[in-house]
Amino acid sequence: MPQRGRPRGFDADEALERALEVFWRQGYEGASMSDLTAAMGINKPSLYAAFGSKEELFRKAVARYAEQDMGYARRAFAQPTAYEVVATLLRENVLAVTRPDRPAGCLSIQGGTACSSDNAAVAGFLAGSRLAGEHALADRFTRAVAEGDLPADADPAALARFVMSVTEGQAIHAAAGVAREALRQTAEIALAGFAAVSGARLPARADTPA
Amino acid sequence: MPQRGRPRGFDADEALERALEVFWRQGYEGASMSDLTAAMGINKPSLYAAFGSKEELFRKAVARYAEQDMGYARRAFAQPTAYEVVATLLRENVLAVTRPDRPAGCLSIQGGTACSSDNAAVAGFLAGSRLAGEHALADRFTRAVAEGDLPADADPAALARFVMSVTEGQAIHAAAGVAREALRQTAEIALAGFAAVSGARLPARADTPA
DNA sequence: TCGGATCAGTACCGCTCGGTACACAATTTG
DNA sequence: CAAATTGTGTACCGAGCGGTACTGATCCGA
């Protein structure tokens, strides 16, 4: 479709990226429209024309986040065994929540776990998307049981809940300023614990780094 | 000291309790002064006279929370062995974050992990108090190494970080509505993982419930 | 070159925020 | 009783909130 009217004077993708970082650092309620427009380099009417409302902007930011910052989760799910799925998930999560070029922690939690009653939908939306990820991990574990790299009596949902609890706790630690190397240690403890408790089949060659 | 002037028309302790619950459910920024005064049953000037400011009220609420809702942590630290410390901590944490008579989750996280730049001190204060608890757990593990119920090569700080990550993740799960029984499973997985990885000396009689 | 369409910028909307001035009520002390 | 002291309730403060009306500027197709 050919363009009609005056062309947009800013890159919507880049503006969304800036908004994402503000939401990540300050949370949904803590990010004011002034904070957002200042970071995005546009005025409010442009923001509303391009993104609809503050809440729609937030949801689009979360979608962008899921695509470009949670990609490691999809890579993890594609690993051949449950052990490697968890190893990838835990280790990549440490990197993701401590990237020097991004805010610390995870948007899904920093965005807001508690909100005023007006914005309860935002907290609910974030909680729901985290639980959806957990459900996907449980499904992956169910497949692992079928494929024999988890024992038949393993509880996929409970194991997934354990792994996600660790990653969420790590995200909170990162947001509190805990260093990447410290979180790496924790991830290895959690991984070894997962292996011991789940009875997961281990990979042939040890891949625990020195 | 004898009373002078008009006596206070409300119970400050009970009012603080109501404020605590509002902060717990809605977070520091999500709780407006109107929300607070409505729940406390007093007017704003009374609140300011009795508690100073919104932030001071919050800090007092957190102190009260630490005393009456985190008591299980002190009980846990008093257990005779590292294994029992962790078992108590994880199991009692599940109960604490899913009490039917309280908001779901944990005030220290629901209070706010991310804030507007004006309120950054609040998020920092909460993060600091969580890390202080973790440090206390690490110290308890150091003692356990000395007492021989953790092996000499155990890393107290890393183990403490692991345990706290799990409890924080569980708190987030609870706030998202995950049921107590589900979190109990997760706690048992984490406990068994801790035992396996740390090499903690197990208690003589198995105390894993059916 | 002109009309329709879309975007940008200013200036504003009603509302709520955290916080307070002030008059009045209730109590103790003399 | 009066004076001193402290809490209560109303009514208000300046500031910032999320969101928008409106005026120009800038593009396209005819």
Which strand C nucleotides have any atom less than 7 A from protein CB atoms? 4-11, 16-22, 25-29
**pLDDT tens digit sequence for B124-148:** 999 999 999 999 999 999 999 999 9
Report pLDDT for B173: 98
- Which amino acid appears at position A165 of this protein? S
Lowest pLDDT segment from A4-13, A60-69, A154-163: A4-13
Structure tokens at A79: 């690993």
Report pLDDT for A203: 87
Percent of chain A exceeding pLDDT 70 equals 96
Region(s) of chain B under CATH 1.10.357.10: 70-198
Lowest pLDDT segment from A32-46, A85-99, A196-210: A196-210
Report pLDDT for B210: 41
**What is the average pLDDT across B7-13?**
97
pLDDT band at A2 (very low <50, low <70, confident <90, very high): low
B12 CA to C30 C1' in angstroms comes to 31
Report pLDDT for A167: 98
Chain A interface test: which of B189, B191, B198, B208 (most A C-beta within 10 Å): B189
B114 to A197: CB separation less than 8 angstroms, yes or no = no
CB B81 within 8 A of CB B203: yes
Alpha carbon separation from B168 to A128, A169, A177, B108, B130 (Å, rounded): 18, 5, 15, 9, 9
Residue A166 burial (CB count, 10 A):
30
Strand D-proximal residues of A, range 37-76, CB below 7 A, are 44-45, 48, 53-55
For the CA atoms of B22, B25, B28, B29, the dihedral, rounded to the nearest 10 degrees, stands at -110
Distance CA B38, CA B166 (A): 35
- The residue among B92, B93, B111 whose CA lies nearest residue B171 is B93
SS3 for chain B is CCCCCCCCCCCHHHHHHHHHHHHHHHHHHHCCHHHHHHHHCCCHHHHHHHHCCHHHHHHHHHHHHHHHCCHHHHHHHCCCCHHHHHHHHHHHHHHHHCCCCCCCCCHHHHCCCCCCHHHHHHHHHHHHHHHHHHHHHHHHHHHHHHHCCCCCCCCHHHHHHHHHHHHHHHHHHHHCCCCHHHHHHHHHHHHHHHHHHHCCCCCCCCCCCC
- Name which of B25, B168, B178 is nearest A172 (Cβ-Cβ): B168
Q: Is a pLDDT exceeding 70 seen at residue B100?
A: yes
**pLDDT tens digit sequence for A134-168:** 999 999 999 999 999 999 999 999 999 999 999 99
ipTM over 0.90: yes
- Name which of B114, B158, B173 is nearest A161 (Cβ-Cβ): B173
Q: Is a pLDDT exceeding 60 seen at residue B151?
A: yes
The average confidence (pLDDT) of chain B is 96
pLDDT band at A130 (very low <50, low <70, confident <90, very high): very high
**pLDDT tens digit sequence for B36-49:** 999 999 999 999 99
- Name which of B35, B109, B115 is nearest A27 (Cβ-Cβ): B115
Whose CA is nearest the C1' atom of nucleotide C3?
A5
For residue B131, list chain A residues with Cβ-Cβ distance below 8 A: 176, 178
Region(s) of chain A under CATH 1.10.10.60: 12-58
The average confidence (pLDDT) of chain A is 95
**pLDDT tens digit sequence for B56-98:** 999 999 999 999 999 999 999 999 999 999 999 999 999 999 9
Q: Is a pLDDT exceeding 80 seen at residue B2?
A: no
Percent of chain B exceeding pLDDT 70 equals 96
Task: Please state whether strand D lies within 7 Å of residue B10 at its CB atom.
Answer: yes
The reply to whether CATH 1.10.357.10 applies to domain A70-198 is yes
Q: Is a pLDDT exceeding 90 seen at residue B208?
A: no
pLDDT band at A8 (very low <50, low <70, confident <90, very high): very high
Report pLDDT for B90: 98
Report pLDDT for A210: 41
Report pLDDT for B204: 74
Contacts of B123 (CB under 8 A, 6+ apart): B112, B113, B114, B115
Q: Is A149 on the interface with B (CB under 8 A)?
A: no
CATH topology for B12-58?
Arc Repressor Mutant, subunit A (1.10.10)
Give phi and psi for B208, each to the nearest 5: -80, 120
Q: Is B89 on the interface with A (CB under 8 A)?
A: no
